[in-house]
Chains A and B, each alone.
Chain A
Amino acid sequence: MSTTTAVDPTKTSSLRSGRRFGDAIFSALSHSAGIVILLVLIGVTFFLFWGAKDALVADGSEVRGGAGLIAYIGPLIFGTLLSSIIALLIAVPLSIGIALFISHYAPRRLASGLGYVVDLLAAVPSIIFGLWGMQIAGSAVPSFEFLNEYLGFIPLFSGTVTTTGRTMLMIGIVLAIMILPIMTAVNREVFLQTPRLHEEASLALGATRWEMIRQTVIPFGKSGVVSGAMLGLGRALGETMAVAIILSASGGGYSWELLSANTPGTIAGDIALNFPESFGVERSTLFVSGLALFVVTFLVNMFARWIISRRSEFSGAN
């Protein structure tokens, strides 16, 4: 057949056609959408560096806190990560549980009702959660004291319990509740995507419902759960209002004591509280911490993607 493959370019063939108009438009649209997101990312990075440049070159004594950038931003990064990790530790198991209940346990009518409620919760603005957290902080003190008394041997619960209840743990709990709906919604969707064939294979081997879930639904949904957790983490890391309202940051340095008054703030909360009243290098310092938050979020996301990709061979995508 090799002799017939040469095509005479001058000859118009019935197999040729002009470019299709719709194809061209759609291709251009999706290309430009892809480029826009890259431009936004570059723009944000540039803007952050522009704002941060004064503080980056300034002497350590001139920046906020007067002890250098690392001394100022380090504890804030620590506080940001700590509060978000607490939130994730609470929210991940809880959201998986709720999602499984909705997708595999609840009767169908209850399940759809619950699904709506969860989606509604995801739309509640964070300031509402902040106000709520501030309200209940005081009444949470007895349970904090309980933790301190009986689990005080764990460094996290040691130290003196603050009487206001506005602690790192409180922030973690409020953030957890805040990110719970979005994570639940994502988890529910991926759990519902589990191929029926896999579920039936497991049941036919004599699996109980829980074993079927452990054998098929959770492994299948794992990468989705990680993505949902990343969405939640992103929201928790960047949460401003709830943190700013509840936490009375006292520049506590790197304190692991979740229940004491001695707490580091978070980057977003700190920027929100201090931005309006700061100028010059002080304000530029806040840009540096914003840049740090940007980088931290980036790293966390890349780490999560790396975790997912490690066993992609077994992901069920093939």
Chain B
Amino acid sequence: MSKRIDVKNLDIYYSDFLAVKDVSVTIEPRSVTALIGPSGCGKSTFLRSLNRMHEVIPGARVEGEVIIDGENLYGKGIDPVMVRRKVGMVFQKPNPFPTMSIKENVLAGVKLNNKRIGRTDADELVETSLRGANLWNEVKDRLDKPGSSLSGGQQQRLCIARTIAVKPEVVLMDEPCSALDPISTLAVEDLIAELKENYTIVIVTHNMQQAARCSDRTGFFNIEGTGKPGQLVEFNDTQTIFNTPSEKATEDYISGRFG
């Protein structure tokens, strides 16, 4: 179910502004890849280009290739809707649909694209997805309550359940814990460790301890100055990045000398 992502010479533009320059990287399946770097350096933009979500912003475009499963996401005739079904995304702030119950939230993606699902299958999927997101025991007695009645951490795990319910191959996470308290953060981090058994996970984080704790490989993005494009400075095993980084900028950043 999980797939390798090959990014080749990716440039990302907002209209004429080059936001991220020349990223080439290979993201291994069944692993957690963390992207770290100072604010505004293009980590999120890069992450969103992996499922074509950055296109939501008018004028955004890319040059280069993102290849998943032998297919270029930016190739001719590729439907972004289908891309996003394969590459799911969890956002910075928990965003369950407020007009839906917990159960409806989990099934929200499954019912798209005219797919129908039987009652028993739906119940089963809700349970496996919520169990997969470590949320089942907390919500099993109130599946019909609104998703917004949960705590922030529970909402974020509900969003993860919603994402994995459509059975994607890759799960992108854009600072999934930045709006959560330490306990909820821990719950989500534990969950990430479990999810990597089945999914390729790419996570953007501002929290370097988090990157060190839960990722296998880490990429460091940096920006030379305002108005300059962000670049992937260094990409390596997390151990190597945090212990013996080869770039000065990486070392400065992780040791807290800037950023």
Residues of A near B64 (CB, < 8 A) are: none
Which one of A65-73, A143-151, A154-162, A197-205 is at the interface? Answer: A197-205
A200-B97 contact, Cβ under 8 Å, with A205-B162, A313-B146: no
Asked whether, in the complex, the Cβ of A316 is within 8 Å of the Cβ of B109, the reply is no
Q: What are some 15 contacts across the A-B interface (CB < 8 A)? A: A197-B93, A198-B95, A198-B97, A198-B98, A201-B95, A201-B97, A201-B162, A206-B84, A206-B85, A207-B81, A314-B98, A314-B100, A316-B98, A318-B98, A318-B148
Which one of A18-26, A37-45, A55-63, A208-216 is at the interface? Answer: A208-216
Please give the distance in Å from B8's CB to the nearest CB on chain A: 24
Q: B163 an interface residue at 8 Å Cβ cutoff?
A: yes
Near B by CB (< 8 A), chain A positions 195-254 give 195, 197-208, 211, 215-216, 219-220, 222
Asked whether, in the complex, the Cβ of A206 is within 8 Å of the Cβ of B112, the reply is yes
Please give the distance in Å from B150's CB to the nearest CB on chain A: 11
A205-B84 contact, Cβ under 8 Å, with A314-B98, A315-B98, A318-B148: yes
Residues of A near B149 (CB, < 8 A) are: 313, 318
Asked whether, in the complex, the Cβ of A205 is within 8 Å of the Cβ of B112, the reply is yes
Residues of B near A204 (CB, < 8 A) are: 51, 53, 84, 88-89, 91, 163
Asked whether, in the complex, the Cβ of A200 is within 8 Å of the Cβ of B98, the reply is no
Asked whether, in the complex, the Cβ of A205 is within 8 Å of the Cβ of B98, the reply is no
Near B by CB (< 8 A), chain A positions 278-318 give 313-318
| Main DSSP-derived SS at the A contact region | helix
Please classify how large the interface on chain A is, using the bins under 10, 10 to 19, 20 to 34, 35 or more: 20 to 34
Please give the distance in Å from A255's CB to the nearest CB on chain B: 41
Residue in contact with A206 in the complex, picked from B91, B98, B99, B113, CB distance below 8 Å: B113
Q: Please, which residue of chain B has its CB at the minimum distance from the CB of A211?
A: B112
Near A by CB (< 8 A), chain B positions 196-225 give none
Complex A-B, nearest 9 residue pairs according to Cβ-Cβ distance, in ascending order: A205-B109, A206-B85, A316-B98, A219-B99, A204-B89, A197-B95, A206-B84, A201-B95, A314-B99
Give A198 to B108 CA distance when docked, in angstroms: 12
Asked whether, in the complex, the Cβ of A205 is within 8 Å of the Cβ of B99, the reply is no
Asked whether, in the complex, the Cβ of A201 is within 8 Å of the Cβ of B81, the reply is no
Interface size of B in residues (CB-CB distance below 8 Å): 30
A 176-202 to B, binary, CB cutoff 8 A, 1 in contact else 0: 000000000000000000010111111
Please give the distance in Å from A183's CB to the nearest CB on chain B: 21
Asked whether, in the complex, the Cβ of B85 is within 8 Å of the Cβ of A201, the reply is no
Please give the distance in Å from B151's CB to the nearest CB on chain A: 13
Q: B82 an interface residue at 8 Å Cβ cutoff?
A: yes
Residue in contact with B112 in the complex, picked from A199, A207, A222, A318, CB distance below 8 Å: A207
Give A200 to B84 CA distance when docked, in angstroms: 11
Give A206 to B162 CA distance when docked, in angstroms: 12
Asked whether, in the complex, the Cβ of A205 is within 8 Å of the Cβ of B56, the reply is no
Asked whether, in the complex, the Cβ of B58 is within 8 Å of the Cβ of A205, the reply is no
Q: B135 an interface residue at 8 Å Cβ cutoff?
A: no
Q: B166 an interface residue at 8 Å Cβ cutoff?
A: yes
Near A by CB (< 8 A), chain B positions 82-129 give 82, 84-85, 88-89, 91, 93, 95-101, 108-109, 112-113
Residues of B near A198 (CB, < 8 A) are: 95, 97-98
Please give the distance in Å from A197's CB to the nearest CB on chain B: 4
Give A219 to B53 CA distance when docked, in angstroms: 22
Q: B130 an interface residue at 8 Å Cβ cutoff?
A: no
7 more contacts with CB within 8 A, not counting A202-B108, A205-B108, A216-B97, are A198-B98, A203-B56, A204-B163, A205-B88, A205-B112, A205-B166, A318-B149
Please give the distance in Å from B6's CB to the nearest CB on chain A: 21
Residue in contact with A219 in the complex, picked from B56, B58, B97, CB distance below 8 Å: B97
Q: B195 an interface residue at 8 Å Cβ cutoff?
A: no
Q: B159 an interface residue at 8 Å Cβ cutoff?
A: yes
Residues of B near A215 (CB, < 8 A) are: 97, 108, 112
Asked whether, in the complex, the Cβ of A201 is within 8 Å of the Cβ of B56, the reply is no
Near A by CB (< 8 A), chain B positions 41-78 give 51, 53, 56, 58
Asked whether, in the complex, the Cβ of A201 is within 8 Å of the Cβ of B91, the reply is yes
Most buried by A among B53, B56, B97, B146: B97
Asked whether, in the complex, the Cβ of A200 is within 8 Å of the Cβ of B91, the reply is yes
Near A by CB (< 8 A), chain B positions 149-182 give 149, 159, 162-163, 166
Asked whether, in the complex, the Cβ of A208 is within 8 Å of the Cβ of B113, the reply is yes
Residues of A near B162 (CB, < 8 A) are: 201, 205
Q: Please, which residue of chain A has its CB at the minimum distance from the CB of B86?
A: A206
Asked whether, in the complex, the Cβ of B58 is within 8 Å of the Cβ of A203, the reply is no
Please give the distance in Å from B52's CB to the nearest CB on chain A: 9
Please give the distance in Å from B15's CB to the nearest CB on chain A: 13
Asked whether, in the complex, the Cβ of A206 is within 8 Å of the Cβ of B108, the reply is no
